[in-house]
Amino acid sequence: MISISTDDPASSLSALLDDGSWVLAQNHRAREQTAKLAQEASALIVTFRPHRFRPIAGADDLTDESEWIRRGLRAFAKFGIAKTWVGPSRGAVCDVCGGKIPVGEQEYELVASNGNEIRLNDDCYALLVNELPTVPQRPNAAS
């Protein structure tokens, strides 16, 4: 037995469009309510936050570039250096000091145990070698 639907396709389409417009209106109302709640939360945070800011103490002496470079190298070395490649440069930039490594000069590419990589020129690599004995290694770092 074959059943034939007597529903009018135009009324089905009209019902779907009505449902879609209702959903869009609900979405708009929800977004307005969310914005209103966010404003109220911001007002509460400003009202009930501590009224005194904590003082900021200490600073880095960024005028001493070699110490700044040493700090960066020590931070990298704390993860443990897993691999080192040495070869002639093709005009790369040292990741620590930002200086250009001239074509043909030695460049050092180091990979830490956590996967971070840096590229160094001769001077920065020499600083790293000098800093390695002073760097405490993390327990899971490669030696």
Q: What integer pLDDT is reported at residue 102 of this predicted model?
A: 92
Domain count, the chain: 2
Q: What is the mean pLDDT for each group of 10 consecutive residues in the chain (143 residues)?
A: 56 86 92 91 72 57 70 82 88 88 92 86 88 69 45
Report yes or no on 106 lying in a domain. Answer: yes
Instruction: Give the dihedral sign, CA 84/85/88/89.
Output: negative
Same-domain check for residues 45 and 71 = no
pLDDT of residue 3: 46
Quick one: pLDDT at residue 64? 65
47 and 82: one domain?
Answer: no
Same-domain pairing of 73 and 39? no
* Residue 78 shares a structural domain with residue 114: yes
Is there a domain that residue 142 lies in?
no
Domain around 24: 10-51
- Report if residue 96 sits inside a domain: yes
Between the CA of residue 105 and those of 47, 85, 118, what are the distances in Å?
Answer: 60, 14, 16
